Structure 1
Amino acid sequence: MGFSWFLLLFIILASFNPTLSAHGNSDLIQKTCKNTQYYDLCVSLLKSDNSSAKADTKGLALIMVKLGMANATATNSYLSFKMTSTTNDTLMKKVMKECADKYASANDALQNSVQDLSDEVYDYAYIHVMAAADYPNACHDAFKRYPGLVYPHELAIREDGLKRICDVILGIIDTLGF
């Protein structure tokens, strides 16, 4: 499962930044990522973004937030597409709609954290990122409420990806003096 979600995330990343680079402020990236739960993910994602070369620690957090927003937006789009194109099951459509709304809320929470980071209000940024990481749980729980519905594997991969990105962001915020 680990490789699958990383591949999915890489594809999403490539679509937003077609000129992936192995460069970046390597020392700062490595130092910053050592404070996160997913060091390898943190380093690879930050090094893949050209703007990381000139970023400070707060800038690295903002880059990760943008990646989280890309994940949440892509998952919302995926769910919206699945909802309209692949099923006539009203219950499944209802749950997918609920999940799409949760991922939209995750995106909104991450967007709020951008302003908080910019204003150096790190405690609020932390809270917003924690909320963004929790919204996929509500989606997963929606599937659990209906015993006949199976939580799609693709959605589980996307959920895991967003949670890991949020965990990295939280680790970076911790280094900013929260």
Structure 2
Amino acid sequence: MASSPSFFFFFLLLLTPSLASPPPPPSSTLIQTTCSLTSNYDFCVAALRSDPRSLRAKDVKSLSAIALRIAVAKAKTTAAYAASLAKNATEAAASRSAFGTCAEKYKNAGEALRWALGSLAQENYDYACVHIGAAQEYASTCGRLFFRRNPGMAFPAAMAKREDELQRLCGTAFDIISQLG
């Protein structure tokens, strides 16, 4: 029977680490719970899961910052895309000018989203939402300007898709931040 207590002690040592540290929470539970309170659950989940940091997020505020960073990245790539269209436009000068203005508007949208990140960090959620609204307005201005400067000319589908994606990302960030305050 002397081996019984030592076996018990060995078994207890094996179990102790698993008893001492709770199992990690399912990584997607926070994302799913947070996204269930947004206007577009599927888009929210897909957007957040596209960034590996979201799986390590500890709270809704962290997910808000991630959603904003995703939107900032989209604004930046769209500004670069519009700038390349302006540079390579074979259409009328009005198209080049419209795309150049679009590039500036998307740069402004990115800046507004960075301001939203700053407001979020300071827990000033109302201002964060105001900045997100400004970013959405900058993005929507692009399409309107294109149509005014190029009557009868179609707004490129790739630009329209990028605008829609940024609008949806901003809407998702807004919905998540709204859960904070």
| TM-score interval, normalised by the smaller of the two chains | 0.7 to 0.9
- What TM-score, normalized to structure 1? 0.82
Q: Structure 2: which amino acid aligns with 1:136?
A: A
For 2:53 and 2:139, the matched residues in 1 are separated by 28
Distance 2:113 2:81 in 1: 19
Tell me the percent identity.
38
After TM superposition, the runs of 4+ consecutive aligned structure 1 residues lying more than 6 A away are: none
Q: How many residues align?
A: 155
Residue 47 of structure 1 and its aligned partner are, at CA, apart by 2.1
CA offset digits 1:70-122 (Å, max 9, x no partner): 11111111111111123252111111111111100000000001110000000
- Encode CA deviations 1:8-55: one digit per residue, 9 max, x unaligned: xxxxxxxxxxxxxxxx73111111101111111111221232212231
Q: Aligned ranges for residues 70-89 of structure 1 at < 5 Å?
A: 70-87=73-90, 89=92
In structure 1, what is the equivalent of residue 67 of structure 2?
Answer: 64
Per-residue CA shift, 1:109-167, capped at 9, x if unaligned?
Answer: 00001110000000000000111111122111102213143211111000000000011
Q: Select 1:153's aligned residue among 151, 157, 177.
A: 157
Whether the aligned pair in 2 keeps the contact of 1:92 and 1:149 (CA below 8 Å) is: no
> Which residue number corresponds to residue 115 of structure 1?
118
Does residue 134 (structure 1) correspond to residue 137 (structure 2)? The answer is yes
Distance of aligned partners of 1:149 and 1:88 in 2 relative to their CA distance in 1, 3 Å threshold? closer
Unpaired runs of 5+ residues, structure 2, are 1-25
CA contact 2:89–2:95 (8 Å) conserved in 1: no
Answer with 1 or 2: which has the greater Rg: 2
| Unaligned 5+ runs, structure 1 | 1-23
Q: Report what 2:33 is aligned to.
A: 31
Q: Distance in 2 between matches of 1:25 and 1:52?
A: 8
Distance in structure 1 (CA, Å) of the matches to 2:39 and 2:90: 37
Q: 1:40 corresponds to which residue? A: 42
Measured in 1, the distance between the counterparts of 2:88 and 2:61 equals: 40
* 1:164 counterpart (164, 168, 175): 168
Could you tell me whether the CA contact under 8 Å between 1:122 and 1:176 is conserved in 2?
yes
Q: Distance in 2 between matches of 1:33 and 1:148?
A: 39
Contact 1:72–1:107 at 8 Å: present in 2 too?
A: yes
2:107 counterpart of 1:104 = yes
